[in-house]
Copies of this chain bind each other. A is one copy, B any other.
Amino acid sequence: MADLSAYTVRTDLALEARELASEARKSPEIPGVVSDIWEDGGMRITQIQVLNDEGAQAIGKMPGQYMTIEVPDLRKKDTQLQDRVATKFAQVFEQYLQKAGIGKDSKVLIVGLGNWNVTPDALGPLVVENILVTRHYFELMPGQVSPGYRPVSAVAPGVLGTTGIESSEIVEGIVEKSRPDLVIAVDALASRALERVNTTIQIADTGINPGSGIGNKRRGLTLETLGVPVIAIGVPTVVYASTIVNSCIDMMQHHFRTQTSNTHEILGMLDDLPEQERLSLVREVLNPLGHDLLVTPKEIDEFIEDIANIIASGLNAALHEAVDSANVAAYTH
């Protein structure tokens, strides 16, 4: 397994981890990592495949397939766009189901990680609240459930600070008792770019690995720990103040490079420092004053509700044949 400990980059997005690695190497090519980007009606889809340990070392992400849907206009409260993103998300997600060999009747457990009472960390519980849950019908009335549905269950296990138990332990216990064929884990993430916050959805077949997510979830949810495949869905909802500063200086560099060859004159030593050192400098300045908080946009309440609805609608449509874009709204609040 890749040693990730050297990475201090504060991002849970494979997309950004790849960007950072490219910048550090001053090369778009990264051995062991294949990526592909395309546009699709106002959405940017990125597919990153971490092929092996070399790739995992290079970008600090486990081997596997990461797909990202970026929709910059998602914060504009356009309900038609939201519907289109839900449909696209369902399509992309169905590919993951197929790749994992999950048939139409396979049992699925959705795990909403995170903390109800911390708005930017409530993505998982909010998604769970809007999932069309059916497992109990199959258990109580076997053979009588309408065609087009599969057994779906959904839990929000809480966070270590409020339960006293690792969410991974809780999920392991539930998996052992309820025996799903697939686990889908939904979690809020940290990004390095404010514009990706609440506009980006990442899907990964790697499960949830230690240290990811914005809370304190130190053990993972993976095929190894749970015994069934785990697809992870994440949305960045927070960003460190230090990374905002750092990427702004970065943008200044790009900005001035289009105008002058001597960006050193403009940005001084900041221009010459490698990414990691500059970030360390920023943190050194911000930390003692309590400036380096995780922050989230002011409108987080609305953003997170919208994106949780998109994910829940998309999952309901992808998991149940009987649910499609015409009737999916009936299942979410």
> At the interface, is chain A mostly helix, strand, loop or mixed?
helix
B residues near A120, Cβ cutoff 8 Å: 298
Taking A128-B162, A154-B162, A245-B245 as given, write out 14 further A-B residue pairs in contact, using a Cβ cutoff of 8 Å, ordered by the A residue number: A72-B290, A117-B302, A118-B301, A133-B163, A136-B164, A154-B164, A155-B165, A169-B177, A173-B178, A194-B293, A199-B290, A267-B269, A268-B271, A296-B300
Q: Are B298 and A296 in contact (CB under 8 A)?
A: yes
Contacts A194-B241, A281-B252, A302-B118; A152 near B164 (Cβ below 8 A):
yes
Interface residues on A, range: 35 or more
The reply to whether the CB of A244 lies closer than 8 angstroms to some CB of chain B is yes
* Chain A contacts with B in 227-275, Cβ cutoff 8 A: 238, 241-242, 244-245, 247-249, 251-252, 255, 264-271
Distance in angstroms from A151 CB to nearest chain B CB is 7
B165, A289: Cβ atoms under 8 Å? no
Q: Given the known inter-chain contacts A165-B174, A169-B178, please indicate yes or no for A193 contacting B121, CB distance below 8 A.
A: no
- Report Cα–Cα, A286/B268, bound state, in Å: 20
- Chain B residues whose CB sits within 8 angstroms of the CB of A271 once the complex forms: 268
Identify the closest chain B residue to A262 (Cβ): B268
Known: A270-B267, A294-B297. A195 touches B153 (CB 8 A): no
> How far apart are the CA atoms of A329 and B309 in the complex, in Å?
14
User: What per-residue 1/0 map shows which CB atoms of A57-83 lie under 8 Å from chain B?
Assistant: 000000000000000100100010000
B298 touches A294 (CB 8 A): yes
Q: Which of chain B's residues have a CB closer than 8 A to the CB of A21? A: none
Count this chain's copies in the assembly: 4
Interchain nearest-CB distance for A333 vs B (Å): 8
* Assembly CA distance A214 to B199 (angstroms): 23
The docked-state distance in angstroms from the alpha carbon of A10 to that of B134 is 28
A136-B165, A155-B165, A245-B245 known; A298+B295 contact, CB < 8 A: yes
Which chain B residues lie closer than 8 Å to A249 at the CB level? 245
Chain A residues at the B interface, C-beta cutoff of 8 Å: 72, 75, 79, 117-121, 128-129, 133-136, 151-158, 160-166, 169-170, 172-178, 193-195, 199, 214, 238, 241-242, 244-245, 247-249, 251-252, 255, 264-271, 281-282, 284-286, 289-291, 293-302, 329-330, 333
Question: Smallest Cβ distance from A253 to chain B, in angstroms?
Answer: 10
Residue pairs across A and B with Cβ atoms less than 8 A apart, 12 shown, are A133-B162, A135-B164, A136-B160, A136-B166, A152-B164, A153-B163, A170-B173, A251-B285, A266-B270, A295-B296, A295-B297, A296-B296
Residues of B within 8 A of A238 (CB): 298
